[in-house]
Amino acid sequence: MTTEPFDLVIRGGTVGTSTARFVADVAVKDGKIAAIGTGLGTGAREIDATGKFVLPGGIDTHAHVEQVSAGGLMNADTFESATTSAAFGGNTTLVSFAAQHRGLDLRKVVDDYAALAKRGALIDYAFHMIVANPDEKTIKHDLPALIAEGHASIKVFMTYDLIKVDDEPLLDLMLTARRHRALICVHAENHGMISWMGKKLVERGYTAPKFHAISHPRGSESEAFTRLITQAALIDQPIMIFHVSTAEGAAVIRQARGQGLKVFAETCPQYLFMTKADLDKPGLEGAKWMCSPPPRETADQDALWQALALGDLQTVSSDHAPYRFDESGKLSAGPNPTFKQIANLETRLPLMFDALVSRGRPEFAGRGLEAFVDLTATAPAQIYNLPGKGAIQPGYDADIAIWDPTREVTITDAAMHDLTGFTPFAGYQVIGWPETVIRRGEVIVSEGTLHAKAGSGRWLSRTGGPAAEPTGKLVLEMDPERNFGATIL
């Protein structure tokens, strides 16, 4: 009796999960992980992973791709270029933004964006829906329909003049999300503080890129977090807070989670590896290091690493938002722009692998590999309810990155595969690099070569899942047993 071979067998590598590591073979059949063990049967293709780590492909759940910014600029990357870059970095799934601006129809925005992704994406993908026009049609008709169709997360900005959503419509969006079981994701900063500070700096001639670092006051983050969490508690709506940058912001989240509130949060490499000093460069060079919120202080980096170790923050995303260093991007306002007129940027996995696995951050006490897998793959898949993603286990999609833990790489502008033309992490030396990347059983990157075609990525339909379920703990004003029988939720 003959046994049909597996499509692929990865032999002898150290398999990493969010809770353990062990040496095993991994077999793939029909795009799925078919078996994990030792002495597995033959594969039509076999990869010797001895001495390598066999890890879930990265899941980047916060990236701006082929999207027009709040200031009207199209960012540098197409779906093809962005997902090519993501794949070379060890990622197999991306969640980007279908961005509604004021006056735009959300249904058309999502449909048009889906067409771009279908044509260009090389890895699997899903969307967050950015809502900047919370009118009756958007809230009562488009959002419920789109959530039911598989777009189960909504992003809201609490700042930026052209896209910010004020408190009352934000509550309306939270109520809609609660009723239809979607997750609300928020860029939370106090708009008035940022706007006022920026104007005062420019009025006094403080226009260089380095002043961007102080144009977003630290308190604008923690204040907005507190206000957002209070609103979410009123509605009993789970929330995800994006790109936490300060120790004070992390402390607000820790307190809320300690109270049993359903608050998730992420940070990004720019807040873990950069400080405001990186913006202090001659001329406009510092613009390459600009992002919003801006990088903070060394003490904030330490606080964010500690928050990740404690579970107060659950994921690390890129917030990839690429703009070239020319008139199409960061210099679109001319050769002498103020920091207020320069668009922002971004880059993730090798930096995190180097910090957690190769060098071993002390906060993680010997569990750096497991933490790396959890923060960059398993937790994102669980929070955003991505089916069959984020883990190496039978029945899951065979999304795998094989890492060489000894390979030393110096990050350079020229080595990047996106269309930005530079990386803020140029010159960083990292140990550990993804040498083979597999998406649904197909090798899409090996030996520095891309093997996937544009449009071969798949859209991932998803519900809100467990993360989007309300806690059921109602505040007094929303509890009919304590509010004279009023039913609002």
Pairing of strands 43-48, 6-16: parallel
Q: Which residues contact 227 (CB under 8 A, 6 or more apart)?
A: 167, 188, 190
The domain defined by 58-388+462-468 folds into TIM Barrel (3.20.20)
Alpha-carbon distance of 186 to 157, in angstroms, equals 6
The domain defined by 6-55+390-450 folds into Urease, subunit C; domain 1 (2.30.40)
Residue 460: what are its φ and ψ, rounded to 5°?
Answer: -105, 105
Give the model's pLDDT for residue 74.
Answer: 65
Q: Within 281-339, where are the H helices?
A: 298-310
Give the model's pLDDT for residue 66.
Answer: 86
Give the model's pLDDT for residue 1.
Answer: 32
Token pair 């033309």 is at which residue?
421
Number of Cβ within 10 Å of residue 145's Cβ equals 14
pLDDT in tens, 256-283: 999 999 999 999 999 999 999 999 998 8
Alpha-carbon distance of 364 to 412, in angstroms, equals 28
**Strand, helix or coil at 75?**
coil
Per-residue DSSP letter, 40 = -
**Strand, helix or coil at 320?**
strand
Give the model's pLDDT for residue 438.
Answer: 98
Domain ranges of the chain: 6-55+390-450, 58-388+462-468
**Strand, helix or coil at 372?**
helix
Give the model's pLDDT for residue 326.
Answer: 47
C-alpha distances (whole Å) from 108 to each of 32, 111, 155, 323 are 34, 5, 17, 25
**Strand, helix or coil at 448?**
coil
Q: Let me know: does 200 contact 165? Beta carbons within 8 Å.
A: no
Per-residue DSSP letter, 452 = P
Alpha-carbon distance of 1 to 39, in angstroms, equals 18
Give the model's pLDDT for residue 117.
Answer: 97
Per-residue DSSP letter, 74 = B
Q: Let me know: does 28 contact 402? Beta carbons within 8 Å.
A: no
Closest to 241 measured CA to CA, from 268, 269, 275, 273: 268
Give the model's pLDDT for residue 286.
Answer: 82
Token pair 């630290």 is at which residue?
218
pLDDT in tens, 288-339: 788 899 999 999 999 999 999 999 999 999 998 765 444 544 444 455 555 5
Please, which residues bridge with residue 14 across strands?
A: 23, 53
Residues of the chain with pLDDT under 70: 1-3, 69-74, 322-347
